Structures are given as C-alpha cells and as structure tokens.
Structure 1
Amino acid sequence: MKQITNTILMIRPVAFRMNEETAINNYFQKNIDGEVDAITKKAQEEFDAFVSKLQNVGVNVVVIDDLKENNTPDSIFPNNWVSFHENGNVALYPMFAKNRRRERREDILATLEEKGFTIKNIVDYTEAEEEEVYLEGTGSLLLDRANEKAYCALSARADEQLLIEFCEEFEYMPIIFTANQTVNGERKAIYHTNVMMCLAEDFAVICLDTIDDKKQRKAVVKSLQDDNKEIITISEEQMHEFAGNMLQVEGAFQKKFLVMSERAHQSLTTDQVAKIEKHCEILSSDLHTIETLGGGSARCMMAEVFLPKED
C-alpha cells in the first residue's frame, strides 16, 4: 500500500473561531481577541495561501466550503472525522466535541464520487459517541499504511478498544502508547497523536520525550527501526510550535514534500532540517491564526484521499 498520496481534501472555513468545546483538553489552543468576521477573514487568507502553495507544486487539492449554518468552528480539520483508503473504504469516526459531529457531511463524499473517486464501503464508528467513546480519525491514528501499523497515543479522544476494533477491520497492527505534555506543572495526555508524531515514507518526526513510560518509548522506537525509518526527534518545546504536525505528500512528477506550518519550520534546527531534506523538500505556510485558535496545524487541515480513481 502507498504511504503518501497526491490528493488532499481540505475544508475552507466560513466562521472560524476558537472552539470552546475542544479547549477543555486541547492545550494547544489559545484565544485571540477580535471579531469572528475579522478572524475568519484572516483564517481564509491563510487557508487560501496554503492551498495555492500545495497546488503550485502539483498536489491535487479538493477544496470544499464549510457551511455557515452548521456552526462548526473546527471544520477546517477534516482528518478527524473521515479517512479514505486504497481499497475504496471510507471510515467515519466518533468525535469528542458535540459541535464537531456536525462536520461529517455526506455531500462531501458525494463530491469525491463526482470527481471520479470510488467509495466501495463506509465503515461507520460514530455510534460509539452514544457510549462517550471516541477515536478521532488520523488525528488519533497515525497510519503506517505501507507496513500496516497504526500508532496511537491514548487520550480522551482515542479509545483503546475502538482502536483495536479499527485495526481488526482495516488489518493494521496497533502500536499503543500514552503521550503526555506538561500543563501547569502536571503531565496530561496529548489530545491527538498527530501533534507529537509524523510518519513519512522513510522517516518519522517524533517527540519521544512525551512518552513517559520507558517500555512504551522503546517499543515505538523499535517498531520504527524495524521498518527502517530514520527517527528525527523533536523537543516538547518544538512540538508546541507544531513541529510534530506535519504530513508528507506527493506533488507533480512524484516529487515528495513534507508539509508544515511556517511556525513549525522556524522551530526546527539546522540539523533537523538537513535530516528531513535528505528525504524530501519542505513546504511551509503561515497558519498563525488557524494554529493559535484551532490548536491544530498543517497536518490536521489535510485529509488524505487514497481512494481508487476511475480513469
């Protein structure tokens, strides 16, 4: 199976703001004073510039507008409610915040089908919300599609049993651990795996300092080494600059790019940049407003589309 794709689904914001429902366990979110309209305009400018950069290098970006009437401030992060797979499967995920559940839209799937993508089967985990059990897509699940492994840092938004159910259904081996960050002097679970770790074809960018349990840390390192991935470590401080929230994509002529925010890019050391650039080029974009209010960065904004396509 392919690890990276050249097609990305992105949702353009229409009423962007800090989501009060997610702020309770997303410690990356910070408020910015300002009117919703002004903040939305800034977020849209960042979004459009980011999309342009991706398209300019040949990434196929499917842009869909958010619906204002849905009142979904986090719709800009579609990778949490849906994942698309090479066998034509689509998974729909249970979301922790009630106002995020409205982000799931059938018309988005219909649009992909209109564009020639084949959806064979929808695997729907959303009923778990009734039990207050959550697994937030490729925010929670870091899929090593090529080696059929799913890395997952357990949290209020990533349930172990549901992870195992997903792995059985999609034939992945679960690599389970807990990742923490320091919040007011206390170690608390990081809300999504994809803010502390990024999996590319030949390397992984990871904040190993967040895995407090030494055995778990060793197991994660061994798993990556077994698959011959170069491990590029980042500090907890760099993780807070969204240096773990990156995604490798394919552009024109199968050229590879590691996509991240400008803030993440600026936080990297010369040595880390050199290690990444051995494998692929870096593509970064200014996402300051989106990152600050949303508590998610470049990777969260891109839902990878691996569905088969009719010629």
Structure 2
Amino acid sequence: MVRPHQFVSNPQTMADNAFQRPLDAKQSAQAAYAEVTNAIATLQNNGIQVHVFEDTGTSTPDSVFPNNWFSTHHNGLVISYPMYADNRRLEYRQDIIDFLQANYQYQQYVDFRHFANEDTFLEGTGSIVFDHQHKLAYAVESKRTDAELLRQVCQLLGYQDVLFNAADEHNMPIYHTNVLMCVATQFVMIGMNMVATADKPRLYNLFKQSGLSVIELSNQQIHQFCGNALELQAADGSVLALSETAFNALSEAQKTTLGQYTRLLPLAVPTIEAAGGSVRCMIAGVHPTVQKA
C-alpha cells in the first residue's frame, strides 16, 4: 500500500470516472493520510501482512491506488502497466519493484509501460480482475483496457482472457473492471445489471464452471463500491477487505451469504472514495511465488 501525504482528487481522470468528485486539497490530504494509516492498522491487526511505502510528493495525486501500475503472480512474474493519465505514469517506483524481487523471489519483470506512448492502456488489476484459481482474466473493454494488451498479459500467465462490455445506467462505460466485480475463492460479487446483455450468458456459464456462488449487486451498490473488494489471506483464514461505505450498502442477506465464505473487514475510506476508487484499488496484492518441485 502507498500512503499519500499530498492526496487530492485527480483532475486528469475525472472525465471518464463516474465515481469521482472534486475535493478540497488541504483537508483531503490530511483525511486521506489518516484513512490509509487506519486501514493499514486494521489490516495488520487482523493478521494481514502489509508493506507500506510513503509518497511525499505532489505530482502523483492517485498514488494511493498502486494496484493499477503493477501486479504480482505466483509464477514469479511482476508486471508493470501503461496508464491512461499522464500524471499516473509518474507513480511507477523502482524501489517497490526492487523490494518485491528481493523479498518474494520474483524472477521475471515485464514492463508494458511503453505502450502508453502508442495510446494503448491497461491499468493493472483495475482493468483486470483475475481468477487465479481457474486462470481467468475478466476485463471490461474501455479506453483504459486494451484487448490486445490483455491477451499479451494472459499469454505470459497462461490465463484465458474474458473481455466483455459494461456500462452504467447513464450508458457511461465502466472505467475499471474492479469497481464492477470481485472474484474470491468461493464467490463472485458483480453488478450484472451493468453487463451488456450479449455477455451475460458467458459470464454466468464461467461462474458456474468455476463453482462460484454469484452475489449480484444493484447499480446503487456498485456506486457504493460494493464490487471494489478484495479477498485476503490472514493467519486464521480469508477476510474480505471492503470499505465501510460498501459494507453499509450490502443487504443483511448478502452479508449472511458472504459470511458463509469469508469474514467481512470494513475500512473507513470516504475521502479516498471521492477520488473514484475504494479499498480494492488501494491494495496491490502480493502473491508469493510457487516453487516448482
């Protein structure tokens, strides 16, 4: 996770992010710093190992969302991605890559950032929601998610790409897949109302083949970041990290269903959510390498 010292809502991403709204710079910076600090403490107190990197600069307003510029994989691969907004390309940090390679034995690093020079973008696990168990890569097609680059990533990983279309009730394309859906070990949470009609049968079929329980989210719940959650492994089992906003928007029946599979861990991040992302965006997952026998 990256703790921002100068957080502000990014004007360069506002045009296509329907979840974003303007913020007062000074107040939001202080509030976001506190929200990240408290989120880190809550995760750690619940048995989650968190690596924290500080961002003291002013040139990277979205640095609190590191999941967009890199991903890690069990096959020993780290990938960095081409970002849509100019100032988001400045978030790349060699010290984070070096730390991961030194501490988690990632043997291979693939850098796709140069594709941004060709106006070709793929924004990490914002664009891609991985089902690592079944080697699937779900992605909503958008100007931030290029189909051909997605296929290249899947080829590297030995995954199948699952590209589909989705838009909100105002017909605005969903800018990132990870605000629409969350794939966990035993379930998927998804705003099916926003998925294009032609794509729904294929998704339902894949969920069935994967043995996933489907928890459908309303449009309103998507706007409350219910889809922007992440399953994490703690010492005593899995937890589902999500925002307090999202937790409060879930129905009691949904909470009961989710409670059969995982433990819900709400984090209060309202200031950060005003920048258009929530808890899942704040966490770049570290997947330990699997050593071959």
Q: Does 1:79 align with 2:63?
A: no
Q: Does 1:204 align with 2:204?
A: no
Cα shift at 1:110: 1.7
* Corresponding position of 1:94: 82
Cα shift at 1:56: 0.4
Q: Which of the residues 201, 218, 226 maps onto 1:243?
A: 226
Cα shift at 1:14: 1.3
Q: Does 1:276 align with 2:267?
A: no
Name the SS of the counterpart of 2:288 in structure 1.
Answer: coil
Name the SS of the counterpart of 2:11 in structure 1.
Answer: coil
Q: Does 1:265 align with 2:247?
A: yes
Cα shift at 1:127: 1.4
User: Does the C-alpha gap of structure 1 residues 309 and 39 become closer, same or farther in structure 2, counting only changes over 3 Å?
Assistant: farther
Cα shift at 1:309: 8.9
On the 8 A contact 1:118/1:309 being kept in 2, the answer is no
Residues in 2 aligned to 1:103 and 1:66: alpha-carbon distance in whole angstroms: 9
- AA aligned to 1:234 is L
Cα shift at 1:124: 1.2
Q: Does 1:303 align with 2:284?
A: yes
Residues in 2 aligned to 1:124 and 1:171: alpha-carbon distance in whole angstroms: 17
- AA aligned to 1:155 is S
Name the SS of the counterpart of 2:27 in structure 1.
Answer: helix
Cα shift at 1:307: 3.4
Name the SS of the counterpart of 1:122 in structure 2.
Answer: strand
- AA aligned to 2:125 is T
Deviations 1:113-145 (A, max 9, x none): 44x221211111111111101010000111111
- State the Cα RMSD in Å: 1.3
Sequence identity of aligned pairs in percent? 35
* Corresponding position of 1:148: 135
Q: Does 1:55 align with 2:44?
A: yes
On the 8 A contact 2:141/2:147 being kept in 1, the answer is yes
On the 8 A contact 1:117/1:309 being kept in 2, the answer is no
On the 8 A contact 1:13/1:43 being kept in 2, the answer is yes
Deviations 1:54-79 (A, max 9, x none): 0001100000001415x100000000
Q: How many residues of Structure 1 are paired with residues of Structure 2 in the alignment?
A: 291
Cα shift at 1:164: 1.1
Cα shift at 1:112: 2.8
Matched ranges for 1:1-311 at <5 A? 10-32=1-23, 34=24, 36-68=25-57, 71-114=59-102, 116-183=103-170, 187-212=171-196, 214-253=197-236, 255-292=237-274, 294-308=275-289
On the 8 A contact 2:101/2:107 being kept in 1, the answer is no
- AA aligned to 2:73 is H
On the 8 A contact 1:13/1:65 being kept in 2, the answer is yes
On the 8 A contact 1:89/1:307 being kept in 2, the answer is no
Which has the higher relative contact order, 1 or 2, with Cα contacts under 8 A spaced 6 or more apart? Answer: 1
On the 8 A contact 2:76/2:105 being kept in 1, the answer is yes
User: Does the C-alpha gap of structure 1 residues 309 and 151 become closer, same or farther in structure 2, counting only changes over 3 Å?
Assistant: closer
Residues in 2 aligned to 1:252 and 1:21: alpha-carbon distance in whole angstroms: 40
On the 8 A contact 1:245/1:297 being kept in 2, the answer is yes
Cα shift at 1:21: 0.5
TM-score (norm 2): 0.96
On the 8 A contact 2:68/2:281 being kept in 1, the answer is yes
- AA aligned to 1:304 is G
Residues in 2 aligned to 1:129 and 1:281: alpha-carbon distance in whole angstroms: 39
Residues in 1 aligned to 2:45 and 2:238: alpha-carbon distance in whole angstroms: 13
Unaligned runs of 5+ in 1: 1-9
